[in-house]
Amino acid sequence: MIKTVRGFVRNLTALVVGLSFLLPLYIALVTSLDTKADVFTFPPHMTLDWQWQVYSRAWRMFRWLMYFGNTLLIAGLTIVITLTVSILAAYALSFIEFRGRELIFGLILLVVMIPSEAHLIPNFVLLNFMNLLDTYAAQILPYGASVFGIFLLRQFFLSLPKDYWEAARIDGCGHLRFLWSIALPLCRPVLFTIGLYIFIGSWNSLLWPLMVTQSHNVQPVEVALARFLENNSVDWRRLSAASIFTTLPVIGIFLLLQKHIIRGISRGEGIQG
Amino acid sequence: MSVKTEHLTYYQSTLAARRALRRRRMRELLTALLFLLPALAFLTVFVYVPSVMAFTLAFWHYHLLGVNTTWAGWSNFSDALQFNVFQQSLANTAFYAAMMVPGIVVLSIAIALLINRVSRFYSFIRTLVLLPYATPAIGTAIGWLWIFDPTYGLANGLLHAVGLPASQWLQSPAMAMPAVAIYSLWHGVGFDVVVVMSALAGVPRGVLEAAAVDGAGAMRRFFRVTLPLISPTVFFIVVVTTIGALQSFAQVYALSGGTGGPEYATTTTLFLIYETAFVYNHYSYASAMAVILVLIILALTLLQRWMGKRMVFYQ
C-alpha cells in the first residue's frame, strides 16, 4: 500500500516537473490568444481565449515567409556543404593510409580547443575584406568544416571492417567509388544526426547573423524576430504570436525527430549541437 | 595483415614491384590530400588564420575601411583592463557561471534520478524536459519576460504565494543576472538530464542492490555508489557548462532586449565584445577583450583538466 502511494507520488512529481518546462511556452500561447483586456491581470490568468486575430496581424507586419525561406536556405546549404566536406575529410582520415595522417587529424582536433570568440572579429574583418558581408555566403561558409562532424564520421568509418575496402580494392574499385557506393550508404544515420544538429544550430543562431547582416533580404527568422520584438515592445499579444509561429517549426522538428537527438546526446554527439 | 606483409616481402625482391608500390603510395597520398583539401581550406580561412589575426588585430588601431591603421602596442589591453564596464562584464560573467555550474549539476542529477525511477510517462517527461534545448532564445524569451514582469508576472506571483517580498527581476541590477540564469537553467538542463540518464543506465544494479542489502539508505547509496560511478559524466557537465557560461550571449541579448542592462547588470563579456565591435565599431579594442576572454577560457579549461585527473573516478 505504502509502496503504491509512493510510486504514485513519484510519478505525479515527475509529471509536474516535466509539465513545468512547458510553462513559459504555454504562457506565450495564452498571451497571444488573450482578449486585449485580459493581457494585464494579476494574478495572471491561464486559460486560452482563442482570439486568433493577432496572429494574422503579426503575420502581415513582417515578410515572415521570406525570413523562413532565408533560414531554410542557409540551414540547407550549410548542411549540404558541411556534410560533403566532413565526409571527404573523415574518409581520408580513416580509409586511406598515408604518412602524416595523425598529424592532420591532430591539427583538425586542435580547433575544438580554440573558443569561437577568438575568431569572431577576425572572421568579420575577413568577410568584409572578401566583400561577403551581408550575404547568404557570410552565414554559411564559416560553418563549412565541422570538426564535430569529421570526428563523428571518422569514428564511424573506423568501426567498419577494413575487409570491405580490401575486397572492393581487389575488384578494382577506387576510393571515390567505394566512398560513394559503400561507405556513404552505411553512414546515413550518422549523417542524419549531424544534419539535424546543424539544422537546429542554424535555426537558433543569433550572434553571427546579427553581426554579418544588415539588409532584411538575407536575414534569418531569428534576427527578424529580434527586430520585431524591439519594434513592437508594447504589444505583448503581437510579440507572443510572432514568437509562437516562428518557434513552432523547430519545436515540430524536435518532436518528430527527438529520438535521434536523444540518441545523439546519449552517445556524446550533441556536444556542439 | 601478416599475409599482406608476407606477400609484400616476396614481391619486394623485384625492382618493378617496388616502384609500383611507391607509385601506389603516392597516389594514395594525393587522393587523401585531395579529400582533405576542402576541410583544411575552410579551417584555414575561418579558424586558423583568424585565430592568429585576433592577436595581431588587438595590437593595432584597426578601422574597417583600412585607413589610419596605427600600431597600438599593449594600449588596447591596458585600456580594456582599466575600463570599468569590462571589469564589470567579467564579474557578471563569473557571477553567471557561478550560478549556472552548480545549478545545472544539481538540477540535472535530481531530474534524471526522478525520471529514472518513474514507471509511467517516462519518455514523455524526458521529451518535455529536453524541449527547451532545441528552441531559440529569442523565440522563447517572450514567455519569460512575462514571468519576470514585476507587476503581472508569475515569478512574483509565486513569491507572493509563499509570503516573500516581490522582486523587480530583469529590471533590477541585482536580480537581472539571476533571472537570466533561471532562464538558462530551463533552457539548457534537458541536455544534461539526458547525459546523466545515460550515465545512470551504466551503473550496475548489482552494486546498488548489494549496498541496499548491507543496510545503506537511499542517500548513502547515492553519495557512496552512484555519484562516484557517474563522476566522469558530472565532470564532463561541469567543464561544458563552465565554457558555455563564459560564452553566454543569446540569452542575455534576448532577455535584456539587446541592451545588456539594467545598468550593465547583464552585460556579459561576450555581449560587451559584440557591442564594442559591431555597435561602436572599435574592432581592435574588442579584439583585445576577446583575447583576454579566450585566455581566461583556456586557463580554466586547463585548470579543470588538471583537477579532473585528481578528483574523478575512472573505472
- Residue range of the domain that includes B45: 2-58
Inside any domain, residue B69: no
Contact B120, A10 (CB under 8 A): no
* B7 phi and psi angles, rounded to 5 deg: -60, -45
Question: Where residue B67 falls among pLDDT bands split at 50, 70, 90?
Answer: low
Q: Which residues on chain A are in Cβ contact (under 8 Å) with B305?
A: none
Kindly state whether residues B31 and B82 are assigned to the same domain. no
Amino acid at A251: I
| Cβ neighbour number for residue A222 with a 10 Å cutoff | 26
* pLDDT reading at B3 higher than 80: no
What's residue B68's pLDDT?
66
* pLDDT reading at B49 higher than 90: yes
Q: What is the CATH number of the domain that holds B294?
A: 1.10.3720.10
Please state, in angstroms and rounded to a whole number, the distance separating the CA atoms of residues A24 and B146: 8
Overall domain count for chain B: 2
What's residue B8's pLDDT?
56
How many Å separate Cα A230 from the centre of its chain? 24
Among residues B43, B28, B20, B38, which one has the least CA distance to residue A176?
B28
Give tens-digit pLDDT for A63-73. Answer: 999 999 999 99
Please state, in angstroms and rounded to a whole number, the distance separating the CA atoms of residues A233 and A239: 7
Kindly state whether residues B153 and B202 are assigned to the same domain. yes
Contact A44 B297 (CB under 8 A): no
**3 state SS for B113-124:** HHHHCCCCCHHH
**3 state SS for A57-97:** HHHHHCCHHHHHHHHHHHHHHHHHHHHHHHHHHHHHCCCCC
Residue found by looking up cell 554559411 in the block:
A140
* pLDDT reading at A24 higher than 80: yes
How many Å separate Cα B127 from the centre of its chain? 22
Q: A13: nearest CA in chain B?
A: B114
Between chain A and chain B, the number of residue pairs with CB atoms below 8 A apart is 292
Inside any domain, residue B70: no
Contact B147, B155 (CB under 8 A): yes
Kindly state whether residues B48 and B142 are assigned to the same domain. no
CA distance to partner chain B, nearest, from residue A243 (Å) = 5
Kindly state whether residues B51 and B82 are assigned to the same domain. no
Cell of B49: 588564420
| Percent of chain B residues topping a pLDDT of 70 | 93
Q: Does A117 touch chain B (CB under 8 A)?
A: yes
* pLDDT reading at B315 higher than 60: no
Residue ranges of domains in chain A, CATH in brackets: 20-51 (no CATH), 63-247 (1.10.3720.10)
* pLDDT reading at B4 higher than 70: no
Kindly state whether residues B120 and B30 are assigned to the same domain. no
Q: Which residues on chain B are in Cβ contact (under 8 Å) with A118?
A: 50-51, 54, 290-291, 294
Kindly state whether residues B307 and B256 are assigned to the same domain. yes
What's residue A39's pLDDT?
62
Q: B126: nearest CA in chain A?
A: A18
What's residue B70's pLDDT?
77
* B71 phi and psi angles, rounded to 5 deg: -70, 135
Out of A89, A147, A239, closest to residue B36 by CB: A89
Q: Which residues on chain A are in Cβ contact (under 8 Å) with B197?
A: 266
Q: Give the single-character DSSP code of B61.
A: E
Average confidence (pLDDT) over A193-197 = 89
Kindly state whether residues B43 and B137 are assigned to the same domain. no
Contact A17 B117 (CB under 8 A): no
Contact A114 B51 (CB under 8 A): yes
What's residue B65's pLDDT?
64
Kindly state whether residues B25 and B85 are assigned to the same domain. no
CA distance to partner chain B, nearest, from residue A108 (Å) = 8
Inside any domain, residue B67: no
Q: Which residues on chain A are in Cβ contact (under 8 Å) with B111?
A: 17
Inside any domain, residue B66: no
* pLDDT reading at B119 higher than 80: no
Average per-residue pLDDT for chain A: 86
Give tens-digit pLDDT for B161-179. Answer: 888 888 889 988 999 999 9
A268 φψ region: left (φ > 0), alpha (ψ -120 to 50), beta (else): left
Measuring CA to CA, how many Å separate B90 from each of A72, A201, B110, B212, B268? Answer: 36, 26, 30, 47, 7
Q: Which residues on chain A are in Cβ contact (under 8 Å) with B180?
A: none
Contact B134 A251 (CB under 8 A): yes
Cell of B219: 542517500
Contact A207 B39 (CB under 8 A): no
Average confidence (pLDDT) over A22-30 = 89
Kindly state whether residues B179 and B246 are assigned to the same domain. yes
Q: Does A258 touch chain B (CB under 8 A)?
A: yes
Please state, in angstroms and rounded to a whole number, the distance separating the CA atoms of residues A113 and B228: 27
Question: Where residue A272 falls among pLDDT bands split at 50, 70, 90?
Answer: very low
CA distance to partner chain B, nearest, from residue A35 (Å) = 16
Q: Does A93 touch chain B (CB under 8 A)?
A: yes
What's residue A273's pLDDT?
34
Q: Which residues on chain B are in Cβ contact (under 8 Å) with A84?
A: 38
Element (H, E) at B70: strand B70-71
- B69 or A143, which is more confident: A143
Burial of A194 (0-12, 13-18, 19+ CB in 10 A): buried
Top-confidence range, B2-16, B66-80, B157-171: B157-171
